[in-house]
Chain A
């Protein structure tokens, strides 16, 4: 295949992706009551953590060297990619049920990559709640904490949000792919792994070493909030450079995921075990 053919194929796929997701989102919006309850539920859930921060900082001034507004930046950096992922790539969470029910067969008799069909299978409007809350916190946090906005910081922010989104999508696939190997797998294992993201809402400095390693290496959520925030807020720590490593971590996660995805597909089709 030539380069230009590849490119047009990619464009076609991107267009299809957008169409699939937008139609789903539009439909959800049409069910008024369900839509608002979804938004309300999601906002309350993430707002609860916020209430906690407000209460906490009503009692103390600093948390492990981080001010309230700086923690808001961490919170925002976590919620924004999480909200985007919910909006545009919530499908992997249906993967296990697709495989279990045999509905995955259907994806294999369509002329589009199964990974894309899985990713677009679900679009959760709840993501709007997370996204808007996250954006608010990020904007308030960066301005109130006296951060210097420069062009390159804006670019850095954009790149790290995108790379965080990539990481979260990869993780979504990764944890749910367990369904290919263990069809009856505990639904709680993927959920638990995904929920470790809550650790990323607060500065890593306050955690024990076990948790630090957990959210840096095992479930690298620190790369979506803490490390990029070190760069954005000009924190002087020896770990600051890791903020630039986020795209690399995403790349590794994506490579690992696509390798495993291919193995999973082969297994499903009964090639090699």
Chain B
């Protein structure tokens, strides 16, 4: 990766508000809306700054409704931003939608871009025409993709008869046929089984490493993110809350830890004793998942594991102690589940 290169995707202060009509239910509401329409302003994306270099692979993550899809739509030119700038391949996508479209590939996980009723091979040919690929380019590109994705046996099958996994392979080929430098993947592995997922990831890694493809991936699948991306951007409530290496997310957000204590014997009163011992420790909460086990979660910014263990070791008969470090995975999972609140990144 050339770190001196100009970014291939760049967004500055990218903002998108939607105006949603507010209608009261029923006919009366509909009629009233006709004469005195009321709208609510919904913030989808607010002041997003993003700079992606050629050849990077970036995971774009966040809970449902956080603004992931909206950002992708802004970057691909499907939506026009309310304010802010966006440049992709040196073009402003919504102003040069057609030119931009030639230089990007997009995979929407749940929707296919193949023609439903016609054989896959014909779909590819049509796409070659749509992207106005010269014969030579088409043949070379087609040949490579067929080879790598092993599509030969599927070419005569209409898309509607493909399994989900087969369709995903075909869709990948369809999105890369015109050799775009950028590939957007929007929830690409939804519904795929484990082996198909592995194959999908292997292919993306190949294109990324061997062909220098810039990849931007939105996914709920932590495996996708871990295996495919060097960098992770997290969005919550329309704002970017984290932008950095996947491995570093723990140092930034991993303040929530746990201590697991194994007791010498089953003890009914252990939880009470532990709670009493922790009385003055802010943010520390004890639970007793098993009769011989007490777990304490705490905030590492306020308390240290050492202090906790000291308190607990005197109150309980402990045989073993295990300190649980948060993994990136658990942090992202909790982000998705909405029970971890992020401060905004500076």
Chain A bound to chain B: yes
Complex interface: chain B residues within 8 A of A112 (CB): 98, 130
Within 8 A of B (CB), among A100-120: 101-103, 105-106, 108-113
Asked whether, in the complex, the Cβ of A270 is within 8 Å of the Cβ of B101, the reply is no
Q: Does B79 lie within 8 Å of A106, measured CB to CB?
A: no
Contact A27 B119 (CB under 8 A): yes
- Indicate if B11 sits at the interface (CB-CB under 8 A): no
Cα(A23)–Cα(B117), bound, Å: 10
Say whether B131 contacts A23, CB under 8 Å.
no
On whether A270 and B99 interact (CB within 8 A), knowing A105-B78, A109-B78, A111-B131, the answer reads no
Complex contact B79–A109 (CB within 8 A): no
In the complex, which residues 229-273 of chain A have their Cβ closer than 8 Å to any Cβ of chain B?
Answer: 269-271, 273
- The digit string for B110-138, where 1 denotes a CB below 8 A from any CB of A, is 01010101110010011001111000000
Instruction: Give the distance in Å from the alpha carbon of A106 to the alpha carbon of B79 in the complex.
Output: 12
Q: Is A214 an interface residue (CB 8 A)?
A: no
Q: Indicate if the CB atoms of B16 and A102 lie closer than 8 Å.
A: no
B211 within 8 A of A: no
- Complex contacts, B16 vs chain A, CB 8 Å: 270
B76 CB within 8 Å of chain A: yes
CB distance from B183 to the nearest CB of A (A): 12
B150-179 interface mask toward A, CB cutoff 8 Å, 1 = contact, 0 = none?
000000001000000000000000000000
Q: Are B126 and A23 in contact (CB under 8 A)?
A: yes
Closest beta carbon of chain B to A110's beta carbon, Å: 5
| 8 Å CB contact of B19 from A23, A110, A273 | A273
Query: Chain A residues with Cβ under 8 A from B82's Cβ?
Result: 270
Assess whether A105 is in contact with B99, with CB atoms less than 8 Å apart: no
A27 touches B158 (CB 8 A): yes
Q: How far is the CB of B171 from chain A (nearest CB, A)?
A: 11
Chain A's closest residue to B131 (CB) is A111
Cβ of B276 within 8 Å of any chain A Cβ, yes or no, is: no
Interface string of B89-106 (1 = CB under 8 A from A): 000001001110110101
Assembly CA distance A20 to B123 (angstroms): 9
A24 within 8 A of partner (CB): yes
Contact: B117 with A24, CB < 8 Å? yes
Given A27-B117, A106-B113, also A111-B108 (CB < 8 A): no
Give the residues from 75 to 107 in chain A that come closer than 8 angstroms, CB to CB, to chain B.
101-103, 105-106
Q: What is the chain A residue whose CB lies nearest that of B44?
A: A270
B271 to chain A, nearest CB (A): 50
Q: How far is the CB of A6 from chain B (nearest CB, A)?
A: 15
Most buried by B among A105, A109, A113, A273: A109
Interface: A65 (CB within 8 A)? no
**A102-B111, A109-B106, A111-B131 in contact; A269/B80 too (CB < 8 A)?**
yes
Which B residues lie within 8 Å of A50 (CB)? none
* A-chain residues with CB within 8 Å of residue B113 when the two chains form the complex: 106
A109 in contact with B104 given A12-B132, A19-B126, A19-B129 (CB within 8 Å): yes
Contact call A270/B98, Cβ cutoff below 8 A? no
Count of B interface residues, CB-CB < 8 Å: 33
List residues of chain B with CB within 8 A of the CB of A102. Answer: 111
Tier of interface size on chain A? 20 to 34
Q: Are B94 and A28 in contact (CB-based, < 8 A)?
A: no
The answer to whether B201 has its CB under 8 Å from any CB of chain A is no
Is the Cβ of B19 less than 8 Å from the Cβ of A103?
A: no
User: In the complex, A108 Cα to B77 Cα: how many Å?
Assistant: 7
List chain B residues, Cβ under 8 A from A271: 80
Q: What is the CA–CA distance of A16 and B132 in the complex, to the nearest angstrom? A: 9
A16, A24, A103, A106: the one contacting B129 at CB < 8 Å is A16
Q: How far is the CA of A63 from the CA of B126 in the complex (A)?
A: 50
Across the interface, B111 reaches (CB within 8 A) one of A16, A103, A111, A273, namely: A103
| Complex partner residue of B101 from A19, A110, A273, CB under 8 angstroms | A110
Q: How many Å lie between the Cα of A196 and that of B102 in the bound state?
A: 42
Considering the complex, give the chain B residue whose CB is closest to the CB of A105: B78
Q: Which residues of B contact A (CB under 8 A)?
A: 16, 18-19, 73, 76-80, 82, 94, 97-99, 101-102, 104, 106, 108, 111, 113, 115, 117-119, 122, 125-126, 129-132, 158
Interface residues of A (CB under 8 A from B): 12, 15-16, 19-20, 23-24, 27-28, 101-103, 105-106, 108-113, 269-271, 273
Query: Can you list 21 A-B contacts (CB < 8 A)?
Result: A12-B132, A15-B129, A19-B126, A24-B117, A27-B119, A27-B122, A103-B111, A105-B73, A105-B108, A106-B113, A109-B77, A109-B101, A109-B104, A110-B131, A111-B101, A111-B102, A111-B130, A270-B79, A270-B80, A270-B82, A271-B80
Given A27-B118, A270-B80, 13 other A-B residues pairs in contact with their CB atoms under 8 A: A12-B132, A20-B126, A23-B115, A27-B158, A103-B111, A105-B108, A106-B106, A108-B77, A111-B132, A112-B98, A113-B98, A269-B78, A270-B16
